[in-house]
Structure 1
Amino acid sequence: MKNLGQTAFDPETYLATAGLGRKIVRLMEGQVFFSQGSRCDSIFYLQMGRAKLTVVSSAGKEATITVFTGGDFIGDACIAAVAGPHLATATAVTACIALEVEREEMIRVLHEQSAFSDLFIAALLIRSMRTQADLIDQLFNSSEKRLARVLLLMAEFGKPGEVVDEKTLIPPITQQALAEMVGTTRSRVSLFMNRFRKLGYIEYKERIYVHKALLNVILHDQISGANFQNASLLDKGRDESEAARHRAKSLRAIQHP
C-alpha cells in the first residue's frame, strides 16, 4: 500500500495546489515573503514571478544575495532541526504567485514521499551551485557583468533541459531596482543598458527583451569588439577604485575614531 501511495503522489500537482498545511499566496511588487529576523515557520515554492533575497548589515547597508525565478524554493532554512530566525529578507521583484507550505507539512511530505524528496534535493543542489556562482560574480566580476547576469537570470536563460527563444521578454523592472540588485548606481545601469542595446544584446523601450547572445558573450566571456573590452576594463577599474576608497575611509575611521 505504501508503494502504491508513493506512485500516486505527484510532486508537481502538490506544488501547484493548496491543501492541508499549504496555501496559494499572491504578492505584488515590493511585498515581502518574510523579513530578516522573523521566525522560519514556512517555506515558499515560487510558481510565477521573480523575487530577490537581501540582507541588511548592522550599519544599514543592504546587499542582494540571489535572485529567484519560477520553480525555486524560498526560505528552505525553515526545515532545519531547530527553526530559528530568517537571516535575510525575501522580496517580490515582480508580481508573484507562490505556494506557502508550513514547516511541519514540509517535513512530513519530505519524510513520506521519496519523489518529492528527490525533487527538493535537486532544487537545493542547483541553488547551491547558483550561490557559488553568485559569490564568484560578486568577487571577481565588474558591475557590468553582474548586470548581464541579473538580466540573464530574469530571462531564465540557461536553465537545464529548457529550449529558449532567441530573445525573451523579462517582467517589468526599473533601472533603480536593477541597480540595487547589482550593487551599483542607477546611472551606471543606464550606461550599461545603452551599451548592451547598441551591441544588440537587449532591446528595450518600456519593457526589456534579453537576447540569447548576452548569454554567450557575457556569461561565457566570449567578448567581441575592442570598444566593449575597453569599456569593461574601465568599469572594472572604477569598481576597484571605489572599493579602495571605501577601504581607506574605513581605515581612517578606525585610526581616528
Structure 2
Amino acid sequence: MESKPKGAFNVQAFLGSSGVARRIVEFRRSDVIFGQGDACDSVLYIHRGGVRLSVVSKGGREAIVAMLGPGDFFGEGCLAGVSVHTGSATAITSSTILLVEKDQMVRMLHSQHALSDRFIAHLLARNIRIEADLTDQLFNYSEKRLARTLLLLAGYGKVDAPVTAVPPMSQGTLAEIVGTTRSRVNFFMRKFQRLGFIDYTDGLKVNRSLLSIVLHD
C-alpha cells in the first residue's frame, strides 16, 4: 500500500482535530447551507457530496456561479474581510460539510503547513477555473460548454482520482450553468448518450471519451 508523503494534507486528521472550533454538519439534497446576505464568518470544506454556489440579482434572476465537490473549500471570503455572503450555497446531493470559524482557520493556516498548501492550491485552482469559465462562455459554443461542464462535475482534471458519476441535477440546472436553453441541453445529452459519451444505467456517468468534444475545434 502506497504511503502518503510526509507532511501531506490528512483529511481525516483535519476533520477530527481536537480543540478546533469547527462543526461537521450533514445536509440533504436541496438544503440551503447559507443564503445570500447571511453572515460570513466561517470557512467551509466539503468532505462528501456537492454544493452549488449561486447569486440572485436585484431583479430576481439567479445565476449559478460554481459547482463544488469533495475536497473543495468555500466561504473563504471571510478571510478577506467579507462580512456577508454575496451568494447562496445549496447542497446538490447529500453532503457532509466542515465549518471552521474564521479566527480558527487563520490560526490553522499559520500552524499547519499541509493545510495551508492545500488551501493555496484550492485558491489557485479556483482562479484558473474562473478564467477558463470566462473563456468558455466567450468563445465556445454550447455543446462544447456542456461537455466541459459534465467533465468538471465528474471530477476530471482534479489531482485526485476522477469520479465519473455526476451528482443528480436537472437539465434546467445544467442549462443555467452552461448558459443555454433546456431544450438544447436535452438535445446534446441525447446525442452524447447515443455516441457513448455518457451513460444513464446507474445515475449519470461520464466517460473520458467526452473529452473529444472539448478538444475538437
Same fold (TM over 0.5): yes
Please give the secondary structure, in 1, of the residue aligned with 2:38: coil
Confirm or deny that 1:27 pairs with 2:27: yes
| Superposed CA offset, 1:212-253 (max 9, x none) | 0112x1232x26xxxxxxxxxxxxxxxxxxxxxxxxxxxxxx
Aligned to 1:219: 214
Confirm or deny that 1:102 pairs with 2:122: no
Structure 1 segment 141-220 matched on structure 2, within 5 A: 141-160=140-159, 162-164=160-162, 168-204=164-200, 207-215=203-211, 217-220=212-215
| Superposed CA offset, 1:186-230 (max 9, x none) | 222211100111122111256211110112x1232x26xxxxxxx
TM (norm. structure 1) is: 0.74
- Cα RMSD (Å) of the superposition? 2.3
Contact preservation (8 Å) 1:17, 1:24: no
Contact preservation (8 Å) 2:9, 2:118: no
How far, CA to CA, are the matches of 2:29 and 2:201 in structure 1?
A: 20
| Superposed CA offset, 1:132-172 (max 9, x none) | 11121222222222221221122101213x4548xx23232
How far apart are 1:185 and its partner, in Å?
2.8
Unaligned runs of 5+ in 2: 1-5
One-letter amino acid of the structure 2 residue matched with residue 185 of structure 1: T
How far, CA to CA, are the matches of 2:95 and 2:162 in structure 1?
A: 22
Percent of pairs with identical residues: 45
How far apart are 1:10 and its partner, in Å?
5.8
Aligned to 1:71: 71
How far, CA to CA, are the matches of 2:133 and 2:86 in structure 1?
A: 17
How far apart are 1:123 and its partner, in Å?
1.3
- More deviation in 7-16 or 126-135? 7-16
Q: Aligned residue pairs: how many? A: 211
How far apart are 1:183 and its partner, in Å?
2.9
Confirm or deny that 1:42 pairs with 2:46: no
Please give the secondary structure, in 2, of the residue aligned with 1:55: strand
Please give the secondary structure, in 2, of the residue aligned with 1:173: coil
Contact preservation (8 Å) 1:64, 1:182: no
One-letter amino acid of the structure 2 residue matched with residue 156 of structure 1: G
Unaligned runs of 5+ in 1: 1-6, 224-257
Bigger Rg, structure 1 or 2: 1
- More deviation in 203-212 or 10-19? 10-19
Contact preservation (8 Å) 1:48, 1:97: yes
How far, CA to CA, are the matches of 2:195 and 2:210 in structure 1?
A: 10
Higher helix share: 1
How far apart are 1:67 and its partner, in Å?
1.2
